[in-house]
Amino acid sequence: MFIIVAGAGKVGYHLARALVADHEVLVIELDPQRVDFVAEDLGSEVIMQGDACDAATMERAGMERADLVVGVTGDDQDNLTFCQIAKAKFAVPRAVARITNPENEDLFRKLGIDATVSATNLILGHIEQELPWRGLIHLMTLRTRGLELVEVKVPRDAAIVGRQVKQLLLPQGALLSLVIDAEGTPRLPTPDVTIRADDILLAVTSIDAEETLRAALTSAAPTP
């Protein structure tokens, strides 16, 4: 695949480093110091100096043959513009944007960005997981069908502890997809699998069904 990345900050640099062995990667970065740093480490063919949202720069980068663009600058607006121009002007099939402000997630999806990654939401999710708060961690947004991939750790006092998958009452639009037990063994949620405390559950859910799913998976059993 030919992947064009906007932004050679820490995220862009490590992303390029991970991808470069298997893909053709080009990172566009404005700051000459970062450009030199990446060129030195990954090779000068991996990096290009310029404004990633400038159409002439995009053209020089070979945008019209890119299979995927990834906007990972520190600014939501720059990532959005980069992805929107790549799609609208260069017909790039797939665009992924990093988001800092969690509120932008829905909007970016509405505007045609195929996937968004929000570090703020991920970190928030993990913090909340450690607290008595019962929540779903958003792992990924699947834009095409308005679905979310979410993770939840089964609380010890949850009503579903000890129940089998076939006994669970999940909302329409939500599908339990994977059960990972405390030992780290992943299992498919076949009807006879029993849910235990501290299991990690992965589920795909529509955004509308999310709240009901959260309640179904984490609500405490009524105290006798």
Partner 1 sequence: MYVIIMGCGRLGAELATKLEEDGHEVSILDIDKLAFDHLPPSFSGKKILGDGTDQNTLRRAEADRADAFIAATRGDNRNALAAQVARHVFQIRRVGSVIFDPIREEVYHGLGLRTINPTKIEAQLLRELIEKEDGAE
Q: What is the binding site for partner 1 (CB under 8 A)?
A: 53-56, 75-78, 80-81, 84-85, 88-89, 101, 103-104, 106-107, 110-111
Could you say which DSSP state residue 154 is in? P
Closest to 153 in 3D by CA, of 121, 120, 179: 179
Cβ proximity to partner 1: between 85 and 201 the closer is 85
Closest distance between partner 1 and the C-beta of residue 58, in Å?
A: 9
Closest distance between partner 1 and the C-beta of residue 85, in Å?
A: 5
> Strands of 186-187's sheet, edge to edge?
137-142, 147-153, 200-206, 174-180, 186-187
Cβ proximity to partner 1: between 27 and 97 the closer is 97
Cβ proximity to partner 1: between 77 and 190 the closer is 77
Cβ proximity to partner 1: between 24 and 54 the closer is 54
3-state secondary structure of 121: helix
Crossing angle of helices 10-19 and 32-42, in 10° steps, is 20
Q: How many C-beta atoms surround the C-beta of residue 74 within 10 A?
A: 13
Closest distance between partner 1 and the C-beta of residue 133, in Å?
A: 21
Q: How far is CA 114 from CA 69, 82, 97, 180, 199, in A?
A: 10, 13, 8, 28, 30
Closest distance between partner 1 and the C-beta of residue 207, in Å?
A: 15
Cβ proximity to partner 1: between 53 and 72 the closer is 53
Closest distance between partner 1 and the C-beta of residue 195, in Å?
A: 37
Closest to 202 in 3D by CA, of 182, 183, 187: 187
